[in-house]
A = this chain, B = another copy of it.
Amino acid sequence: MPVTTREIHLVARPEGEPKPSDFALVERRLPDPRDGELLVRNLAISVDPYMRGKMTGIRTYTDPYDLHAPMEGAAVGVVETSGDASFPENAVVVHNAGWREHAIVPAAGVRPVNVTDATPATAYLGVLGMPGLTAYVGLLHKAGLREGDTVFVSGAAGAVGGIVGQLARLWGAERVVGSAGTAEKVRYVTRELGFDAAFDYHDGPVADQLAKAAPDGVDVYFDNVGGEHLEAAIGAAKDFARFALCGAISGYNATGPRSGPRNLGLIVTKRLTLRGFIVSDDPELAGEFHRDVAPAVAEGRITFRETVVDGLERAPEAFISMLRGGNIGKMLVRTS
């Protein structure tokens, strides 16, 4: 039976910080799914920093969003009508047709997930989804975490950063240090996530605060922020330190080029390695990630928080807020 549903379209390419008027809420009627398709009622959709890059209209590692079409991104939902025998009705699935209340998706683009008390459906958008995998791949495979390392992670209270810090502890780091943007976030990462030290980057130069938090220097830096944070991490790096560069949210809304770190000469003298990475390049690591991380989440050795905004119509607001640092843990929009 056809359903009437709503979706968020991108209608203008943002200049600087996105505005609500860059988005439109569009009502739409969906037909029944065909053979091999599923009609999914989304429970929650993800808003993620990488989406800002796809709004620019410039192709990078992925195609930009089209204008006047739904934004896309991770979502978790319930199968309402199934055109594929391997997905029964009421199965909970993750897929990439976010920013809408219902979606018709090919069964091949859908992954069933195991919902329990410890791992609710929304966990598959965060700790057990792309952000968790990003933390895992970046920390263990790109930065090559070793036992005894001192690890620094920026954006430590975010969906990725919070997992990085906890994985670092579980995988043998000697000291885990984070930065975040509010006092509440600093308390969260030290008290709930077990970071050894953290600081609010508004409280003074990052370099000075990092020198206090990691006085013996940094072996691994996981960069979510860029800019001043990257410069400070280069300054604090020990010889042969390894950096996994995941993103640079401090610059995502910038309207022009920004000067880079002034201390890049240290990359040579300290023999640093800086590796940029995109999680989707390593799909073969998803298996070991779930095998390693899902039990740790189920047993409470890795914890997570969510910042939930209710109602699809508020997805742009949630996205804009997330870019401003308005979230602790994963920023989500509950859509049903």
Partner of A277, one of B60, B248, B266, B271: B271
Task: Note all chain B residues with C-beta closer than 8 A to A276.
Answer: 266-273
CA distance A261 to B234 in the complex (A): 14
Stretch of A34-42, A113-121, A172-180, A239-247 that contacts chain B: A239-247
Partner of A263, one of B257, B261, B273: B257
Known: A262-B259, A264-B226, A265-B248. A274 touches B277 (CB 8 A): no
Partner of A271, one of B260, B261, B271, B281: B281
Task: Note all chain B residues with C-beta closer than 8 A to A266.
Answer: 276
A261, A268, A278: residue with the most chain B Cβ atoms closer than 10 Å: A268
Task: Note all chain B residues with C-beta closer than 8 A to A226.
Answer: 264-265
Partner of A274, one of B61, B246, B267, B278: B267
Task: Tell me if A275 is interfacial: C-beta within 8 Å of chain B.
Answer: yes
CA distance A268 to B252 in the complex (A): 12
Task: Tell me if A109 is interfacial: C-beta within 8 Å of chain B.
Answer: no
CA distance A272 to B278 in the complex (A): 10
Nearest Cβ distance between residue A59 and chain B, in whole angstroms? 10
Task: Tell me if A230 is interfacial: C-beta within 8 Å of chain B.
Answer: yes
Number of copies: 2
Partner of A269, one of B53, B257, B259: B53
Nearest Cβ distance between residue A271 and chain B, in whole angstroms? 5
Task: List residues of A (140-192) whose CB comes within 8 Å of B's CBs.
Answer: none
* Contact, CB under 8 Å: B239 / A268: no
Nearest Cβ distance between residue A281 and chain B, in whole angstroms? 6
A226, A259, A265, A266: residue with the most chain B Cβ atoms closer than 10 Å: A265
Task: Note all chain B residues with C-beta closer than 8 A to A275.
Answer: 271-274
Task: Tell me if A29 is interfacial: C-beta within 8 Å of chain B.
Answer: no
Task: Tell me if A57 is interfacial: C-beta within 8 Å of chain B.
Answer: no
* Contact, CB under 8 Å: A264 / B273: no
Known: A273-B275, A276-B273. A248 touches B263 (CB 8 A): no
CA distance A273 to B143 in the complex (A): 11
Task: Tell me if A291 is interfacial: C-beta within 8 Å of chain B.
Answer: no
* Contact, CB under 8 Å: A268 / B248: yes
Nearest Cβ distance between residue A229 and chain B, in whole angstroms? 12
Nearest Cβ distance between residue A232 and chain B, in whole angstroms? 13
Task: Tell me if A251 is interfacial: C-beta within 8 Å of chain B.
Answer: yes
Known: A265-B226, A278-B268. A259 touches B259 (CB 8 A): yes
Nearest Cβ distance between residue A182 and chain B, in whole angstroms? 25
CA distance A262 to B263 in the complex (A): 13
Chain A contacts to B: CB under 8 angstroms: 53, 60-61, 226, 230-231, 239, 245-248, 251, 257-278, 281
Top 6 closest pairs, chain A to chain B, by CB: A260-B260, A257-B262, A259-B259, A267-B276, A60-B269, A268-B276
16 further interface pairs, Cβ-Cβ under 8 Å (given A226-B264, A260-B264, A267-B276) = A60-B270, A61-B239, A61-B271, A245-B267, A247-B268, A248-B264, A257-B263, A259-B260, A260-B262, A268-B278, A269-B278, A270-B276, A271-B277, A272-B274, A273-B273, A274-B275
